[in-house]
Amino acid sequence: MNSLLSLPSVLQLLVVVSSDWNAVDGTLYRFQKSPSGEWEFVAPGFPIVLGKQGMGWGRGVFDLSHEQGVHKKEGDNKSPAGLFRLGTTFGHECSRACAKNMPFLLITDELECVDDPDSVYYNHFVNTYSISHRDWNSSEKMKDIGPLYEIGIVVEHNLDPIKAGMGSAIFMHVWRTRGAGTAGCTALEVEHLRDVVEWLDLHQQPCLIQLPIHEYLNKRSQWGLPELPSPVEKP
């Protein structure tokens, strides 16, 4: 059942909406579930950027394989649309303190995220010093990304199970600037991202939902999504 109503343990929700499937700019809102089970608006929205080619249906908590339209694939420069769990945060040592209630992965020289669909490590973090046989030809060397990965959150896309070629290394991370799309991640200003990471609590099973605004409104009742502030801020 594609509905947050079937996931009562999800108590924190990040909502990202954009103007349409091809839009790069969008807005992020935060919601917390009240003791009565209602979604409560936490703070004013702030701007984010998506993939250079907008969004495509992704592989997350909900089965969206039958949705009409474009589905995300490796290298398409699209951010995944759908509902995704948020687990590990990551970053440089200066960001560790922000992850008060979330697991934190320190970026080191040997940390890579494999994006080669032919590798057995596809869509996994690896410590290259501990791998005796490197079977990949492509990966993100996390330390080389620099300030964009000063702090970030892993978006659990294409993980359960991993399907080769359907997208890898999907994060929330620091943006270059508004309007500058990513390779498929969701990016935002560093201080906003720090605020989000400090707010997240793994015990409240936080999730990210991102959709074009027309899809969000169409699916709001069916999926049990929170009502957005009125008027919705223009992405």
The answer to whether residue 234 is domain-embedded is: no
The answer to whether residue 230 is domain-embedded is: no
| Sign of CA pseudo-dihedral 47, 50, 53, 56 | negative
Residues whose CB is less than 8 angstroms from the CB of residue 161 and which lie 6 or more positions away in sequence, other chains included: none
What is the Cα–Cα distance from 102 to 88, expressed in whole angstroms? 7
| β-pairing verdict for 207-212 and 12-18 | parallel
The parent domain of residue 26 ranges over 11-223
Alpha carbon distance, N-terminus to C-terminus of the chain: 29
Query: 149 and 173 in contact (C-beta within 8 Å)?
Result: yes
The predicted pLDDT at position 1 comes to 78
Residue from 170, 175, 180 nearest 190 by CA: 175
The predicted pLDDT at position 132 comes to 87
Name the one residue in this structure whose structure tokens are 């793994």. 202
The DSSP code sequence of 85-129 is: EEEEEEE-GGGGGG-SBS-EEE--TTEEEE--TTSTTTT-EEEGG
For 126, how many CA atoms within 13 A lie in the half-sphere containing its CB? 23
- 96-101: long-range pairs with CB below 8 Å, 24+: 98/151, 98/194, 98/197, 98/198, 99/197, 99/198, 100/198, 101/200, 101/201, 101/202, 101/203
The answer to whether residue 103 is domain-embedded is: yes
What is the Cα–Cα distance from 70 to 92, expressed in whole angstroms? 35
What is the Cα–Cα distance from 184 to 132, expressed in whole angstroms? 30
The answer to whether residue 229 is domain-embedded is: no
| β-pairing verdict for 79-91 and 55-57 | parallel
The predicted pLDDT at position 152 comes to 98
The predicted pLDDT at position 231 comes to 57
The answer to whether residue 140 is domain-embedded is: yes
Count of domains observed in the chain: 1
Length of the chain: 235
The answer to whether residue 145 is domain-embedded is: yes
The predicted pLDDT at position 230 comes to 72
Tell me the average confidence (pLDDT) per consecutive run of 10 residues in the chain, 235 residues long: 92 98 98 95 95 98 96 98 97 97 98 98 95 94 97 97 98 96 98 98 98 97 92 54
The answer to whether residue 233 is domain-embedded is: no
Name the one residue in this structure whose structure tokens are 């605020």. 195
The answer to whether residue 72 is domain-embedded is: yes
The predicted pLDDT at position 232 comes to 59
The predicted pLDDT at position 233 comes to 53
What is the Cα–Cα distance from 230 to 48, expressed in whole angstroms? 19
